A and B are shown apart, each in its own frame.
Chain A
Amino acid sequence: MQVKYIKEDKQLIFKIDEEIDHHSSEKIRKRADYEIQVHIPKKLIFDFEHVTFMDSSGIGMLIGRYKLLSMFGGKTSIVNVNAPIKKVLEMSGVLKLIPIEEIENIGGNNLEKCI
């Protein structure tokens, strides 16, 4: 997972570059919680451009980070979601809490710098 923090916008971006299942979500969770508590961002963005697979473990992982950041008053969203993952996200109802956003709306340049 690549992490980018944009100070001026208080945006924290997690670019995940592996399949998200029970095995990988434990690792992602540890790193994500550390970064969230260090930066306390206003906005947290999960970039799924390189995520090819996600099962329900990913739902639990996303909700957990959403809850943590909510305690600090921050918002969470997801970008670059492929169709199969969108299907899982829609089914779980998690999109009501963590919406999928268009990259343009959150500053596409920032995401580019992330790579």
Chain B
Amino acid sequence: MKNVYENEMKLEFLSKSNNESFARITIAAFVAQLDPTIEEISDIKTAVSEAVTNCIIHGYEEKEGTVKIECKLFANSIEIEISDNGKGIENVEKARQALYTSKPELERSGMGFTIMESFMDEVKIESVLGLGTKVTMKKMIKANVEQEIKI
């Protein structure tokens, strides 16, 4: 029987664009404990990359700030909370829309939240203008779900 357990970690780093790869690789390494498929890992990496990029270019508008990630592992799922203390989102509904971007001049595609929503099972956005934004994402790790059913 596979050892099923809970675990948690926190990560804090400066809002520099070269930390985007650091963040997604770290989360991928942490979630590896749940024995996810390659596809699940790449979904999580992409979603984390989107959320962290949002903190850096929208939350802090490429100025200095701190990005925080809290990651919890459950028996068969992962919960990732990514937050900034940046400027906040004026209209969350609009930001969620596919192809909408407040920064077309930066060649943003407006696909960030759409990718997070389709690659993860649940995405919650909480934002207060002037205070910051917190994105909470959950994903089931299917291999473990199946294993539990067998047991």
Contacts and interface: CB of A to CB of B under 8 A. Distances in A.
**SS class of chain A's interface: helix, strand, loop or mixed?**
helix
27 contacts: A21-B20, A21-B49, A21-B53, A22-B57, A23-B20, A26-B17, A53-B45, A53-B49, A55-B49, A55-B53, A56-B50, A56-B112, A56-B115, A57-B108, A59-B111, A60-B107, A60-B108, A63-B107, A63-B109, A83-B39, A84-B39, A84-B43, A88-B46, A88-B111, A91-B115, A92-B111, A94-B109
B107 A21 contact: no
B114 interface: yes
A22 B42 contact: no
Nearest to B16: A23
A19 B46 CA distance: 11
Contacts of B42: 53, 84
Interface of A: 19, 21-23, 25-26, 29, 53, 55-57, 59-61, 63-64, 83-84, 88, 91-92, 94
Interface of B: 17-18, 20-21, 24, 39, 42-43, 45-46, 49-50, 53, 56-57, 106-112, 114-115, 118
